[in-house]
Structure formats: C-alpha cells, structure tokens
Structure 1
Amino acid sequence: MRTAYLIATAIVSLAATPAFACTDAVSMCDRNTTGALSLIERGVAARVVVEGGTDAGVRDAAQDLTRDLAAVAGRADVAPDRAVLIGVVGASPLVDRLIAEGKLDVSTLAGRWEGFVQQVVEAPMPGVTRALVIAGSDRRGAIFGTYDLSRRAGVSPWNWWADVPVATKASLFVTAGRRIDAPAVRYRGIFLNDEEPALGEWARTSFGGINAKFYERVFELTLRLKGNYLWPAMWGKSLWQDDPNSAALAQRMGIVLGTSHHEPMQRAHIEWERGKGGAWDYAANPAELQRFWADGIKRNEGRETVITVGMRGDGDEPMTSGTATKLLETIVADQRKILADVTGKPAEQTPQVWALYKEVQDYYDQGMRVPDDVTLLFADDNWGNIRRLPKPGVARPGGYGVYYHFDYVGGPRNYKWLNTNQISRTWEQMSLAAAHGVDRMWIVNVGDLKPMELPTSFFLDMAWDPAAMTVDKMAGYHQAWATEQFGAAPAAAIASILDRTTRYLARQKPELWSPDSWSLTDGTADRVLAEWAALDRDVAAVRPKVAPGASDAFYQLVEHPVQAAGNLARLYVTVARNRAAAAANDPRANALAAEAERLFAQDRVIRDRYETLGGGKWKHMMAQTHIGYTSWQQPDQDIMPEVRRVPAGSRATAAARPAATARPIEIDATAFAAVTAGKDATRWLTVPGLGITGAAVTPWPQTAPIQTPGQGPMLEYAVTLPRAGDVRIDVLAAPSLDVVGTGRRYAIAIDDAAPQVIDLWKGTGEKEWEQAVANGARTTSSTHRVGSAGRHRIRIWMIDPGVVIEQLRVAS
C-alpha cells in the first residue's frame, strides 16, 4: 500500500497565483461562471470518486488528488453534491453509462495512447448535481488526467521534491465544457544515473536505501510530470534485487520500467557480477549470458516494459576494439528468440529498444540493422548534441527515440554538480528530433534528479506534445515555471535569474573552471564576476517577494546555484590574482591567498545550508565534488587550489606588461542589420535564450532543403573596419552535430565577394570536439580581404539546416 503524506501549504494571496483564464473550456477560474463546477467553494473541495474495481494506479492518483484538493482548500472537508469522477473507458461502469446516455463525449478519445477527456457533466450520479469527469482511454490516461487537474489547481509536481508549497484558495472553479489531451511521444522518461555520492547517500539516509520507499517518490514525480518510463539507478544497484517491491510498485503505479543502454534484457548489470556468471563475453560465454537474460524476462512476466536489446562491454565500455557487426547481430537474434520462448508469443509483440550509444552507432552507420519492430534509440554526444537522426519521413513500426543528457561522467570532464542545461538548447535539439519523426521514446539522463528540476520539467512537458512547445512558449517557459512554483508576483524576476544562471553555467561547466579560465588582463575575469554579482543582487531583491512558506524552495531552485557558482567563480579568480601577485613579489598576494581560502571554506558553508533545509531533509544531496579536477574524473574530495605567499616586507616588482592586442569586434548573431528569407519558406529563426549571448539564430524549418551557397536565407551585419587588408571572422556556433550526414555548413562573405563555404566539423576530430563542448561553442574562422577602411557588410547564408549561430568576432 502506498504511504500517505501531507503536502506543505502556504497561505498565499490569489494575486500571487497564476492568472486565471475563465473563457477556455475546463479551465481554472477564480469566480463562478455558467455551468462551472465548484472545485473548491468557501474552503470546501469537491469529493473525488472512483469505483471499487478501478485500477490500483488510478485509485492511487485519485487519493493524491483528494489530498491535493484538501491542501489547496486548506482543510479536508468535502462537498457531497459536487465531485470529480475518475475512470477508464471500457473499465468503468459509471463512465460507460455516462457515455451511453450521451452525457460524456469520448468520440475522439478512441485508440489514443494515454489520452484523457475532462468534461463537466450535469447530474452524473445520484446525489451529485455536477461533476468533472476524467475519463482515460487507458489506465495511464486516467492517471495523467487526474494529476493534470492537481497541477492546474496549483499543486506543483515538485511539491515534495523541492518543497514547493501549495497556495490555498478559498474558491476555485472549473469552467464548463470538454477538454481532451494525449501525448505525442509514447515513452517519456528519466534515467537516474551517476547517482553516487549525492543521490545514493541521501536515499540511504532518508529511506534506508534505493528501495521501494525511494522509488515511490520517483514514480509519483514522474507521473505528475506526465512521464511514464524509467531507467533506474544502476551504479552497483538493481531495482529488482535490492528491493523486489520496487518493480511491483512500478507496475501498480503505471511506470514502465526499462534498463539502460548497456543493460540488456531487463537485467541490472550488477546482477551479473553478483551472480558470478563469468566473462561478460558472448563469443566465449553465450550459454551463461542466455540463462542470465532469460531469467530477466521470466522475472518480468506480467509487467509492462520496454526490453533493451544488444550488448556493450563490461562496465559500459565498448564490446570489442572494432565493430563486431556479425556478433552483435547474433546477440540480438538470440535475445529475440529468448523473448519468444519465455513469453510464448512472437518477439515483435514485446516492445524492444536498441540504444545507438557511443560506439554502437558505428554498427548502425556501417549498415547493421535490427528488425523493424525494434525502436532505434539515437543518442546525443553526452553534451546535449544529438549525433544521428533518421531522415524525415522514413517510418518504421518500432519508431525512433532519443537518449539525451543533463548529466555525464566522462570526457572531456564530468559534469554533475549544478544544472548547466539551457532549456533553449534542449528545445532546439529535441525540436530537431521531433522534426525528424522521433516520437516513440524520449529519455533523459538526469543524474541525481536534484538539482535538475527545471530542465526535467521542460523535457517532459515538451515530450508530451513537441509541436505545442513553440519557440514563443519555450521563451516564456522560465516565467511559466517560476509562476507555478512561486506565484505570479516574483515570476518575471525569477525567470531572468534562471535564464542567466544556466546561460553562464552552459558557457563552460563549473567542473572545467580553473584559475586559468578567465583572463585578468583583458577584463574577462572582471566581467564574469560582475555577472555573478548582478545575479546575487537580483536574488536579494526578489527574495522578499517570495512567500515565506516557499523560502526553502526558493533556495533550492533559484538562490543556491547562484550562490554556489558565484562563490566558485570568485575562488578561481582570486587564486589567479594571488598567483599573479606572488609572481610579482607583491605583498597583496598574502591577503588574496587568505581570501581564496575563505572562499573555499564558504563552498562547504553553502552546501551545508542546502543540506540543512527542512531539518536536514536534503542531507548529502549536494555531496558531489567539483573543485580540484585534474582529469575527466572527479576528485575524491574537493581540493583547495594552490595559492602562493610572499615573505613579509616584500616589495612588488614591475610586472611585464602583455603586448597590447586589439580586441575583436563582437557582434551578437541576433544583431543583424537585415535578413532575407529563402525559397520554400526557409528563413532564419531567432531563438531567445540560446547560446552564450542570450539568443541565437538558426535556419527554419529544421528539415529545410540544403541551399545553394549564396542563394539561401541570408543574414547581413553592418561593421566598421579600421583598415584595409585581411579580415578574420570567427563565427561561434552551437556545437551541433551532423545528424543525417550532409554536413553542418554555412556560407560567408564581406560585401559582394563570392561566398566562402564553411563546415563546422569537416576535417576535425576528438580534440576539436572536446574544445567545442568544453567552451559551449564551435568556433570556425574565415579570412576575407577588404579594399578600404570604413563601413562594410558581413553576409551569412544558410546552406544546411541545424547550424545555430551565436556570435561573430571580427579582427582586422
């Protein structure tokens, strides 16, 4: 039986809640309108009704809705004559009777995966004068329709996970009419990964382990975010063995359990080590591996899942040094035979996925194919750049998916500590996936889950209906999300903070920062510290506008990343200044050394503040080390950077002045003087929030045909050059990869010169990729000759879709 819990509430005025739209069907309204249901009236909520034989997961969601409405109302009283009725079409006698009587319209719901109708109905049952009926096309449709109502009534999905309180409302009405919704992507989920030390230590302290009590919280959050799919934590863990109740609970609640890209056949990899099965080598040990996999399928009997097929090497490494296509084809064929033998039905009747992660994509690129009913799960490069996609319009029964990352352990550097993910970048890449027909599976590696609350919300909101997440809706998402967590009053200010924080962190992950990150001589270090100082001021200014009951949530979601990252930036700049002073025998080096040590200690103070919120609710959750990296792998503990001191009484020597260099002219990509559209409605689209400067431009639509150099959509920039001669133009673009094998090209010229064709990645290798993802931008250069100083035009043409231009830097 699921555990009941109380939802934190806060008395917040309605002025601080989202604006009410009383004109749309089945919308939330703060006043009564004709035919509306009084969801809450004078502090009394409508009762929630489910029938006795209703699916257990639907009943669980209904119980949550009852608690949610009590929290919104501020008390547990319910009105007997108004109700929310929840059921599944074809499995609920009450719902089916309402359909038969013509009171409930589900005509457009038939055959919809996880769809639901919400409709206000008159006199649906004896004693109830009016009700909101939530009817699901299947059990998860009813569950999502139920949690959707909770969310729209004012209960954030992050109520428990981020201590977001519920604003009480004396009255809340649901307008008359009918509303239908269903997801466009079939499987939408998260992967808990890289979960040590933070999430693992926190779970062991809070729940006694990564067990069913822990997973109950994860499953509920996923459902509240309209996700349905999970890859469980897997660093030395097995959801199935560590607590068998976890898998049963997932089935009850409606979560589809899968396994990660390197854990085939519903087996956690640690189970192989625990079972001492011998070599993880199919060429040498096929019988033991087949037995191991068959047991995984048997253990899953009667439960909904998507089976991962294929095989990687032991410990998430490549299986061989080359591309053993024949061996992998044999493995997949044998796995499908196991599926058929164990389930007693054709393999194609069990959903399967082949993850084209890292070197496995090489098999696909070199021609390996799996049966058409298997979902092809394409992957990004672990840094948010999708590597391969199907060509638009090429359908297959198993469909396509994308495995994306908000967290990563690997080169060029781990990034696990803070949320460094711009939702604008996720939007651009996942819009690209949707445009290429990827609608079977979206799954994202969220690491420890916290502090990835914002991008996780965005990813799953977008996965529900990618087409509805327009560029304008994405641009307003920070404010909409801030409103959902904190109310309307502080939302605009919080949105600006969230946008800038992730932008600054996306330029370079904090794990890559060092005393050498920002120049002391050209003003870069001062600019970086000024940015973080401005964020500190903005946090201080908005904090008083946040309801007192939301202070813990505000710290977790808004203040902590600003405080923690800003402190780390100040530490590294102070160490850099200390070293420069010491090199000049400047006695100020000693004070700078002391200040650096104070800032290092402050890092732990900031962590402790986070972990003591709510009486220690989040103890260990910020345990991820992040200072002192010397390679891609994290240090065992944070390491104070080396500082230097000079003897007392030292006298500074004159430091050698660096040679004066002219700064390049910087032009943001959106600062074009003119823009020209191309044929077939191709154009340049401005994407707010994207990239290092706060906005970027990209060709649109994302599946536009390749353009002839100099003839496609064009951007024109005005620039004043100080002299005649050679001009170098660096174009900073997002490190987007060539997903269909045509290139990532643009054309560039000054004035009326012939355009030069530049490919972002042609002739490059691992070194160039590492530099691009480390710096958050791919820089390409071209040289142009001009005949005179003065005003000139830089012209950039689209060639390939998918190029995202962020800034131009011009040096002459």
Structure 2
Amino acid sequence: MNNIKYILLTLCLFPLILFAQADQFVSFSDKEDVFTLVKPFIAAPILIDDNIDSGILKAITNLSVDVDKVTGVSPLLKVDKVSAEETVLLIGTIGRSEYIDDLVKNKKINASELQGKYEKYLIQTVQNPFEGVKEALVIAGSDKRGTIYGIYELSKQIGVSPWYYWADVPIKKQQNIYIKRGKYTEGEPAVKYRGIFLNDEAPALSGWANVTFGGFNSKFYEKVFELILRLKGNFFWPAMWGSAFYDDDPQNGVLANEMGIVMSTSHHEPMAMAQSDWHRYVKRNNLPNIWDYTKNTKALQESWRFGMKRAKDWEKVVTVGMRGDGDEAMSEDTNIALLEKIVKDQRKIISEVTGKKPEETPQVWALYKEVQDYYDQGMRVPDDVTLLFCDDNWGNVRKLPEINSKPHKGGYGMYYHFDYVGAPRNSKWININPIQRVWEQMNLTYTHGVDRIWVVNVGDLKPMEYPISFFLDMAWNPSQFNPHNLLDHTEKWCEQQFGGKYAKEAAQLINLYSKYNRRVTPELLNDKTYSLENYNEFETVMNDYRNLVIDAMRLYYLMPSEYKDTFDQLVLFPINACSNLYEMYYAQAKNKSYAAKKDVQANYWADKVKDCFKRDSLLTVHYNQTIAGGKWPHMMDQVRIGYRSWNNPPKSIMPKVEYIMQT
C-alpha cells in the first residue's frame, strides 16, 4: 500500500511527460521517401544568416567537416538565397534568423513547437521553403543551444561519434547521405544544467594537456566543450588543481560563452574564482593570503568582486558560500550566522557588479561534506539559490528533498562522483562505474525533484568515456531508462563506437569489467582483499578477470584494424590492466602463504609478482605511447599500486615479496 501511495504521489508531483528520443532520420539508401543531403561529388549547401551567432557557426563548421569526413564532399556555406532548383540545408534559431522566421511566417514550420522552449531543436524537411528552392532540410532551434544540438544530432546520425576525437572512433565512409522526409525532435531536456567536472587531473590529464596543447588553455577547452555539446550537455566545472580557468588563458571564458557552455566553479570555489585564482590575486595585489572571512574580509571581498567583474558578461552559475582553503572544512569555530553573512555579502557583490537584483544571476550552494551538516543544523540561503546535494563521493546519494516538500524557487542539483580523491583510498585511475548503479542513484535523485543541475566528477575524462555518455543521456531524459533496458543503451553506444557486428559482445565486456571494478576499486585491491582458502575466493575473482581478458582479446583480433585503437582504449586496456592487478595480488598472497611455511614454492609466486608489476608499466607505456600513434602521452599515469594511506604515492611501489632459501 505504501508503494502505491509513493507512485501516486510521484505522478502528482511530476506529471508524466513523454520525451521523444530522436528517431533515426539519416539513411544511406534512397529506397525510402528521402531528401538528398549528399550525392556523389555534390552536397546541399548550408544556408545561414549573415549575422549568425558565432557559437552556432562553430558547430556548423564542424558539421561541414564531418560531412566531408564521411563522404569526401564538403558543403558550401552561403548567406544569400541560393539559385533555382537547389536543395539546401537551412540552419538558424527562431527569433534570431530571418530565414527561420520567414518559414514560420509562411507556415512552413510550426512556431509553437519552438517558441518559449528550452534547448529544443526541430529537424524538418520543407518543400518549397522559398522561391527558387525545391526543398530544404531545416535545423531550427528554440535558442542557441537548441540549434547546436540539432546540428550535432545530424553529425552523429551520419556516423560521427561524439567521441571521434577523445576515443579516436573511426568514421565510416559513405557515398550518399539521405534524410527521411518528416519532422524530428528530442523535445526539451529534463535537467536544466547538465555537465562534468574535470578534477584530480594531475598527473594524467594535466600531463597530456601540457604535451598536446601547452596546458589547460582555450585550445584544450575547445575540444572539451565540443564533446560536451555533442553529448547534449551544457554545464562545466573546469580543471582546478593548480589551474585557474579564467586566469590561465583569458580566452577560456570568452570561448565558453561563445560556444554555449554555462560555466561555474566547484563546490569550494566561490564567486567565479578558482582556488588558484585567489592565491594569484592576493600575490599580484600584495594582499594577505588568509582564507578566513573573520580575519581577511576586505581582501576576500575584493577578490570576489574581481571574479564577478571578469565573468559578468558571460552565461554562468555563480557558486556561493565558503569552505576552507584547498577543499577543506572550515575551522571548528565557524558558525552558521557567519556563513549566512558570507552568502549575503556575496550576493550584494553580485548585485553591485551586474547592476541587477541578485536573484537574476543564477547561483548555487553546494552541500558538500561538512556544508550539509550546516544545512542540517538550520543554515539557509535565499530561495532563488540552487541547493546542490551531493553523493558520499562513492556514488551513494547522501540527501534529497522530501517528496512532498514545498517548492524551492532555485531548484535542486546533484554533484555526483565517478572519480574521487580521498579516504579510504583515491579512485582516479580507471572506470569503476557500472551504469546500473548510476541509474539507480540518479533515478532516485530525479524522482525527488532534483532537476536544476546534474554535474559529475569525471577525473581525467578519458577513462570515463562510457559513463559520461550515459550520465548526460540520462540527464536529458531520465524517463527513457528502466532496469530492463540499461544494457540496450550500452549496446547502442558500442554500436556507435565499434559498429553493429561487435556491439553486443563489447557491451557485455564493459558491463562486466565495471561490475568487477565495483567489487573493490583497483587502488583498494591488495593481497588481503580476498581469501585463498574460503571456496578459492581469490582464485575465482582472478579467473573472472582472466576470462574477460580472453574474450576481449578475441574480439580485438576479430575487429577491423581501424577499430582497434578505439576498442583498446574503451574496453581492452581497462580489462587487461585490471586483470593484471588481480594476478599480481593473487601471486603476492600465494607468496606470503608459502613463505610462512618456509616452502620454496614461494619463490615462484614472488617472480610472478615481479612479472605482473613490470607488465603494469608496459601496459601503461603501450597506452601512453602506442595507441593512436602515441596520441595519449601521460593519460594513464595515475598511480594504482603501492598505496599505504588514502593518497597515492608519487610512483608505483612493487608489493613486498619473500624468497625462501633452498636447502
């Protein structure tokens, strides 16, 4: 009976909305009723307004490149109406495009499907859109990002994976591209702000970015932002270990705003100022470097005012509140009255800098770690500030609003973790996130009305490719998923990366390796984790991974050569490397067991430990220097062997072994 009440209450609070996932509208055959986008040596030109938004133009330019990669033909960009009998691809935003507004005026497209909508796109074939043109494929957006999402949906459907750069996914060549005549949309997103947090990014991501781009600059972030948009995300917390997004490269903020990324700063970095920003600011201005509001009020306020002035013209969500310097708790004598005063003073600065009421600038207060304790003890912020709940850093949601709680104007968000630096051990190296667990926790989150912000800590980005895709797909439309169709999503994702022939088996491999990694994270694994005696527990789990390696290697060798680098990054390497860890710690356990008996068999297992330790380094070298022609230097540099406490040692340390003298 209680379950029935819960379901009925949920339906009352959240009316059932059916979000239409985009149908497959691209075809490579003309046997259906189709619009011809590309035929041999000819592509329909792309018609745009001469004053088109520069962020949309970036996406259109990428689309043109994508079409060229698929067909070898690059469509021309035109701003003037084209000549008679031509077909065109017409792209624009309602209310901001003369061409789109003319189509609305002439009832060629329905304005009500876009006006007043949020981030919605409409892809539609239109007969005789204007004089002299026989037919157009129209991509129209309700706003800037809606238009961009429509552009990238077309790219994805012609065969360009959102991960084409970040996972080297090959692009299948086609001679023709057709569009099934009709109208297509995915509706509006369920969650307003959907994004990722690059964190714990040294030495792997930082090392790679330094070699490839010269640091976390606008060249680097352009690749990140493009990925987020191709995945229909819109929100971002930037890398912050020794980095300062706005200060490292003055073009970073300009680029984010241009491309349509909503910037924010992490849970402990208020007022658009990174932690490193603060230290640089006080040094440049000869101010006291004391992160204490009771002792250094003026300097803190000056830095926050500087941060707001720098970002005032860009789309953003401003983090408010205050934690200790360096992602630490405030001092023990911090009281709620002081924290509430800090937020009040920050909002006054926001208002003074923007010239608007504080509630007109989106703000977020992160209830992370001890900050949730302040909230539980009664601390409150103004009603327009988004309350960002958090998990426990390991994927378990800590707190949610009550199902029947009164509405909160600022809405609620969730800060989730795929990667974590902290006790009992860091988890930075590899994907440990089965999507079944992610779905269960985020579905619970959404059911409780948390739909303003979803942001996930993805560490170095690279090892988390699949869970990132799932998280952002779910953020767009949580209702599309249930316990019975999660593996279907994995299979469809694998089909996008490796082709249909290998999708089911690849999906099973991803499904199993993430399940095994959640038994115990690689950094927590050691020779004592499993028992040698109880039902051969250690040998059983080791063989689970060995069998997975056999299946992964078999599939790797069956695949065409163009897919091998992608498969290695996304499937084979994580399985191979984790299996090797299990073998190493199993060998160490056996070594200790035999050594305790003074049995010389201990020596065999000691040698096995050494072999596995060496193999771990060779696998790392393979990933960093061989895959994709050496494209990913340092990307697997995160330490996973040799932990003695919660934080990683500077380099891997071989497990201790003991040799027995033969008599």
1:541 Cα deviation from its structure 2 partner: 2.1
- Structure 2 counterpart of 1:115, from 115, 120, 128: 120
**For the residues of structure 2 that align with 1:246 and 1:95, how far apart are their CA atoms?**
31
Determine which of 392, 397, 413 is the counterpart of 2:409: 397
- 1:448 aligned residue (428, 444, 460): 460
Matched residue, 1:72: 70
- Of structures 1 and 2, the one scoring higher in RCO (CA 8 A, sep 6+) is 2
- Look up the match of 2:6: none
Which one of 178, 182, 190 corresponds to residue 196 of structure 2? 190
Letter in 1 for 2:379: M
CA distance in 2 between counterparts of 1:24 and 1:250 reads 26
Aligned to 2:306: 295
Q: Are the structure 2 counterparts of residues 126 and 570 from structure 1 closer, same or farther at C-alpha, using a change threshold of 3 Å?
A: farther
- Compute the displacement of 1:24 (Å): 8.8
Whole-angstrom CA distance in 1 between matches of 2:179 and 2:375: 51
Cα pair distance change 1:231/1:77, threshold 3 Å: closer
* Per-residue deviation, 1:101: 0.6
1:519 Cα shift?
1.1
Deviation at 1:59, TM superposition (A): 0.5
Q: Establish whether residue 173 from structure 1 lines up as the match of residue 184 from structure 2.
A: no
Find out whether 1:102 has 2:113 as its counterpart: no
Contact 1:421 1:506 in 2 (8 A): yes
Gaps of 5+ in 2: 1-20
User: Which amino acid in the other structure matches residue 154 of structure 2?
Assistant: L
Distance in 1 between residues matched to 2:395 and 2:334, nearest whole Å: 25
Aligned length: 627
Residues in 2 aligned to 1:282 and 1:643: alpha-carbon distance in whole angstroms: 52
Deviation at 1:320, TM superposition (A): 2.1
Matched, 1:87 2:107: no
Match of 1:638 in 2: 652
Cα distance change on mapping 1:78 and 1:37 into 2, 3 Å: farther
Question: Conserved in 2, the CA contact under 8 Å of 1:231 and 1:259?
Answer: yes
Following the alignment from structure 2 to structure 1, what is the Cα–Cα distance between the partners of residues 462 and 76? 35
- Partner residue in 2 for 1:550: 563
2:330 alignment counterpart: 319
Number of the residue aligned with 1:618: 632
Of the structure 1 ranges 97-106 and 54-63, higher mean CA displacement relative to structure 2 is found in: 97-106
Q: Which runs of 5+ in 1 are unaligned?
A: 1-22, 650-812
Displacement of 1:127 after TM fit? 5.0
Is 1:284 the counterpart of 2:289? The answer is no
SS in structure 2 of the partner of residue 489 of structure 1:
helix
Q: Which moved more, 1:103-112 or 1:512-521?
A: 103-112
> What's the RMSD between the two structures over aligned residues?
1.7
Instruction: Give the conservation status (yes or no) of the 8 Å contact 1:323–1:362.
Output: no
Contact map agreement 2:46 2:75 (CA 8 A) in 1: no
Between structures 1 and 2, the one with greater strand share: 1
The structure number with the bigger radius of gyration is 1
Equivalent pair of 1:24/1:175 in contact (CA under 8 Å): no
The 8 Å contact of residues 404 and 444 in structure 1, kept in 2 or not, is answered as: yes
8 A contact 1:25–1:175 mirrored in 2? no
Identity %: 48
Alignment correspondent of 1:139:
144
The residue identity in structure 2 corresponding to 1:570 is E
Q: What amino acid maps onto 1:252 in structure 2?
A: E
1:428 equivalent in structure 2: 440
1:167 CA displacement: 1.0
In the alignment, the residues of structure 1 paired with residue 417 and residue 22 of structure 2 have an alpha-carbon distance, to the nearest angstrom, of 36
Q: 1:526 and 1:43 mapped to 2: Cα distance? A: 59
104-113 or 457-466: which moved more?
A: 104-113
Residue 589 of structure 1 corresponds to 602
What TM-score do the two structures reach when normalised by structure 2? 0.92
Quick one: structure 1 residues 138 and 387, their matched pair in 2 at CA, closer, same or farther if it must change by over 3 Å?
A: same
SS in 2 for 1:230: strand
- Asked if 1 retains the 8 angstrom alpha-carbon contact of 2:91 and 2:139, the reply is yes
State the Cα distance separating 1:472 from its structure 2 match.
Answer: 3.3
Greater shift, 344-353 or 609-618, is seen at 609-618
**Does the 8 Å contact 1:280/1:314 carry over to 2?**
yes
Indicate whether 1:49 and 2:60 are aligned: no
* Alignment check: 8 A CA contact 1:45 1:73 kept: no
Shift of 1:33: 5.4
For each residue in 1:583-641, what CA deviation from the matched residue of structure 2 results, as whole angstroms up to 9, or x when unmatched?
A: 11211211221121011000011011111222221000000001011111111100000
Which residue of 1 is the match for residue 237 of structure 2?
231
**Distance in structure 2 (CA, Å) of the matches to 1:121 and 1:48:** 14
C-alpha separation between the residues in 1 aligned to 2:31 and 2:403?
46
**What amino acid does structure 2 have at the position aligned with 1:58?**
I
Task: Give the conservation status (yes or no) of the 8 Å contact 2:64–2:75.
Answer: no
1:232, 1:644 → 2: CA distance?
46
1:413 matched to 2:425? The reply is yes
Cα distance in 2 for residues equivalent to 1:42 and 1:521: 67
* 2:222 is equivalent to residue 210 of structure 1: no
1:115-155 C-alpha deviation (Å, 9 max, x unpaired)? 11111111224554222211111111101111111112211
SS in 2 for 1:320: coil
1:563 is matched with which residue? 576
Task: Give, in angstroms, the shift of residue 369 of structure 1.
Answer: 1.3
User: Residue 495 of structure 1 aligns with which residue?
Assistant: 507
Residue matched to 2:388: 377
Sort the Cα spacing of 1:521 and 1:64 in 2 relative to 1 into closer, same or farther, 3 A.
same
